[in-house]
């Protein structure tokens, strides 16, 4: 009897020592809020709205939704707010730009930018011009002047509009576009090269390597908060390049990478977040469903990993997922997890809480995520 009791005590002690601690749990956590959206979304500069290509929600409750009246193929589109948060520009793969009022999401006017898909766009600092980058490698600037009353009505307002005031053809830059926080610079790039340009006249500020090790595509491109660095997110590697000096680039190596999809600067540039397809321990390349999506954080100065955070149980098509930090840095938004209807889950995470619950070990396999 005593021997059996001793064995039971030992067995219990063994199991207790091997139970995971709560902080080491690698299940998908519960976000602050979530809804069906699209891969492209944006926070308004005033922090009051999050817009995606088929709707807009207020950031106070995340529940009040205004649906977009006119969006076509949102999988190949770009989206951007004006600096005053009163306008929202949406670019399509057909080369059309539609400008909407905020928060009514009512179309004010539209124009044809290029015959190729628009890969990115943004307003100038005075909101009087829109810069677009197209898949053919061109960048263009369009001048628009809009009566302030037009943003408060559902009726279309004919703006004073001029076709491409400035245009430049580039050899590179067919994949991703970025606008600096002060709206003085743009960056366009692909796997071979990134061009940083002055937004006023498109003069070249600096040419950078594309960032990809094997010549693969770029999946995201981001300026640092101070506009002095460009974060290049390629499928195989994530690199930060300095613009204003010749400092060597920094590489951020994700723990269990299958495919990098997006990145974001956090904490005023002190932290870099990378969104990627994780790879389970029994990875089968033919079974894409076994992959999952994770966000990993890095200290910018040392380029060392701070830990990973499982965010979505299923991946989507390469390059069609994104992370973005809200202007006040309280919310990190991520898109992923195909719903089967073309829409994606947009999940809103408490950024401070994420950093408190990072996993230092490599992310889990699919079965662990589904528990």
Residues of the chain with CATH 2.130.10.10: 37-169
Per the listing, tokens 């401070």 go with: 352
- Residue 301, pLDDT > 90, answer yes
Alpha carbon dihedral 34, 54, 325, 146, in 10-degree steps, equals: -150
Tell me which CATH code domain 37-169 carries: 2.130.10.10
pLDDT of residue 1: 41
State the pTM of this model: 0.82
Going by C-beta distance under 8 Å and a sequence separation of 6 or more, which residues neighbour residue 57? 35, 49, 50, 63, 64, 65, 66
SS3 62: coil
Three-state SS for 129-147 is EEEEEECCCEEEEEEEECC
H or E element that contains 369: helix 366-369
Higher per-residue confidence, 111 vs 69: 111
Which whole number is the average pLDDT over 49-69?
85
195, 221 contact by CB (below 8 A): no
**Is the separation of the CB atoms in 166 and 140 below 8 Å?**
yes
Backbone angles phi, psi at 149, to 5 degrees: -65, -20
Q: Which of 18-22, 84-88, 317-321 has the lowest mean pLDDT?
A: 18-22
**Predicted local confidence at residue 292, as pLDDT:** 74
Candidate from 34-38, 78-82, 160-164 with smallest mean pLDDT: 160-164
C-alpha triplet 348, 351, 353: angle, nearest 5°:
105
Kindly tell me if the per-residue pLDDT of 126 is higher than 50. yes
How many CB atoms within 10 Å of residue 158? 10
Residues 6+ apart with CB under 8 A from 54: 37, 38, 67, 68, 71, 74, 343
Most confident of 7-11, 252-256, 304-308: 304-308
Q: Are 262 and 369 in contact (CB under 8 A)?
A: no
Residue 192 pLDDT grade (very low, low, confident, very high; cuts 50, 70, 90):
confident
What's 15-46 look like in SS3? HHHHCCCHHHCCCCCCCCEEEEECCCEEECCC
For the cut 80, the answer to whether the pLDDT of residue 23 exceeds it is: no
Q: Please state the rounded mean pLDDT for residues 201-220.
A: 84
Give, rounded to a whole angstrom, the gap between the first and last alpha carbons of the chain: 37
Nearest to 313 by CA among 70, 31, 8: 31
């Amino acid at each position: 009897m005593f021997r059996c009791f001793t064995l039971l005590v030992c067995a219990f002690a063994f199991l207790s020592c091997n139970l995971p601690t709560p902080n080491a749990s690698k299940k998908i956590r519960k976000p602050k809020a979530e809804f069906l959206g699209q891969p492209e979304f944006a926070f308004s500069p005033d922090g009051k709205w999050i817009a995606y290509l088929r709707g807009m929600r207020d950031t106070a409750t995340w529940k009040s939704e205004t649906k977009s009246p006119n969006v076509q193929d949102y999988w190949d589109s770009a989206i951007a707010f004006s600096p005053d948060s009163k306008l929202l520009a949406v670019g399509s793969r057909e080369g059309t730009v539609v400008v909407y009022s905020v928060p009514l999401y009512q179309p004010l006017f539209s124009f044809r930018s290029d015959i190729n898909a628009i890969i990115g766009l943004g307003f100038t600092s005075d909101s009087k011009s829109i810069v677009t980058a197209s898949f053919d490698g061109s960048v263009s600037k369009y001048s628009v002047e809009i009566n302030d009353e037009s943003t408060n009505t559902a009726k279309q307002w004919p703006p004073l509009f001029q076709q491409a005031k400035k245009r430049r053809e580039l050899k590179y830059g067919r994949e991703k576009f970025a606008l600096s926080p002060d709206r003085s610079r743009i960056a366009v790039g692909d796997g071979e090269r990134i061009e940083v340009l002055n937004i006023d006249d498109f003069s070249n500020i600096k040419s950078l390597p594309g960032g990809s090790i094997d010549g693969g595509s770029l999946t995201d491109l981001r300026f640092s908060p101070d506009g002095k660095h460009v974060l290049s997110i390629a499928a195989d590697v994530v690199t930060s390049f300095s613009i204003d000096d010749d400092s060597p680039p920094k590489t951020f190596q994700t723990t269990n990478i299958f495919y990098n999809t997006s990145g974001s600067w956090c904490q005023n540039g002190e932290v870099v977040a990378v969104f990627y397809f994780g790879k389970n321990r029994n990875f089968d390349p033919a079974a894409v469903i076994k992959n999952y999506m994770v966000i990993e954080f890095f200290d910018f100065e040392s380029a060392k990993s701070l830990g990973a955070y499982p965010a979505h149980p299923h991946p989507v098509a390469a390059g069609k997922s994104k992370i973005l930090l809200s202007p006040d840095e309280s919310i990190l938004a991520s898109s992923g997890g195909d719903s089967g209807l073309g829409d994606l889950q947009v999940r809103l995470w408490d950024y401070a809480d994420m950093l408190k619950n990072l996993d230092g070990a490599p992310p889990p396999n699919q079965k662990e995520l589904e528990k």
